[in-house]
């Protein structure tokens, strides 16, 4: 199965992107499982995804980037055994550093992943403020990514977009970067980067 991890701070558009990718994958006759982590005991995003007909596994009451990092492995194994999806979309909570989760996934030797793609989603509308108050989190999120997507490109100002690109280049000079409007149809070039069988 393919594993796509979408990280990003709260409000960056992760859930919107995941839902669009899940629909695209189902439209190409692929089985999709969504793993969602929310800190609280009730998962709001999870309920929305289920109402839309998606297969959702919840990791609640803790953070898969820290206290629940090991639980992700057990959940992935259960998903593989019980559902055997072609694609797993994994959304960690937007308030946590993804480093521990990535370390766990990178050293895991159980379920074979046909591909493991780590995407960081950035919100250019708030990035200046986030770099002031949450610089370590944003830094790790960008540095752990295989691809950084600057979301909300349709509403961001040229100055906000320039700051986003400058920040990414400074934090991780070699990471590929692209722009996205997750509310709209995803451009084919982005789809090809995120859904390997559509390349």
- d(CA 73, CA 1) in angstroms, rounded, equals 14
State the pLDDT at residue 49.
59
CB 89 within 8 A of CB 26: no
pTM here? 0.86
Q: How confident is the model at residue 177 (pLDDT cuts 50, 70, 90)?
A: very high
Does the pLDDT at position 199 exceed 80? no
Pairwise CA distance, residues 97 & 25, whole Å: 28
pLDDT surpassing 60 at residue 136? yes
Average pLDDT for residues 55-71, to the nearest whole number?
58
- 43 falls in which pLDDT band (50, 70, 90)? very low
The strand pairing partners of 6, in sequence order, are 119
Domains of the chain as residue ranges with CATH: 2-198 (3.40.50.300)
User: What is the chain's mean pLDDT, rounded?
Assistant: 85
User: Model confidence over 83-125: pLDDT tens digits?
Assistant: 999 999 998 877 777 887 787 787 777 778 899 999 999 999 9
What one-character DSSP code corresponds to residue 119? E
How would you classify the pairing of strands 87-91 and 147-150?
A: unpaired
Classify strands 147-150 and 115-122 as parallel, antiparallel or unpaired: parallel
CA-wise closest residue to 167 among 9, 13, 4: 9
pLDDT at 77: 86
pLDDT for the residue numbered 131:
97
The secondary element (H helix, E strand) that includes residue 190 is helix 188-194
Percentage of residues in the chain having pLDDT higher than 90: 54
Task: Give Cα 134 to chain centroid, integer Å.
Answer: 18
């Amino acid at each position: 199965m393919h594993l796509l991890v979408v990280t990003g701070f709260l409000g960056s558009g992760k859930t919107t992107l995941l839902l669009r990718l899940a629909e695209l994958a189902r439209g190409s006759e692929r089985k999709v499982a969504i793993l969602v982590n929310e800190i609280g005991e009730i998962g709001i995003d999870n309920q929305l995804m289920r109402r839309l007909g998606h297969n959702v596994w919840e990791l609640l009451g803790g953070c898969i980037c820290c206290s629940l990092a090991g639980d992700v492995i057990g959940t992935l194994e259960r998903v593989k055994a019980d559902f055997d999806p072609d694609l797993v979309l994994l959304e960690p909570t937007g308030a946590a550093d993804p480093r521990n989760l990535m370390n766990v996934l990178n050293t895991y030797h159980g379920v074979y992943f046909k591909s493991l793609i780590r995407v960081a989603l950035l919100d250019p509308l708030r990035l200046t403020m986030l770099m002031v108050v949450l610089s370590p989190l944003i830094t790790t999120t960008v540095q752990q990514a295989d691809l950084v997507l600057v979301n909300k490109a349709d509403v961001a100002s040229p100055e906000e977009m320039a700051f986003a690109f400058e920040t990414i280049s400074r934090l991780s000079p070699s990471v590929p970067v692209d722009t996205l409007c997750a509310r709209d149809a995803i451009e084919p070039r982005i789809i090809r980067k995120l859904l390997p069988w559509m390349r």
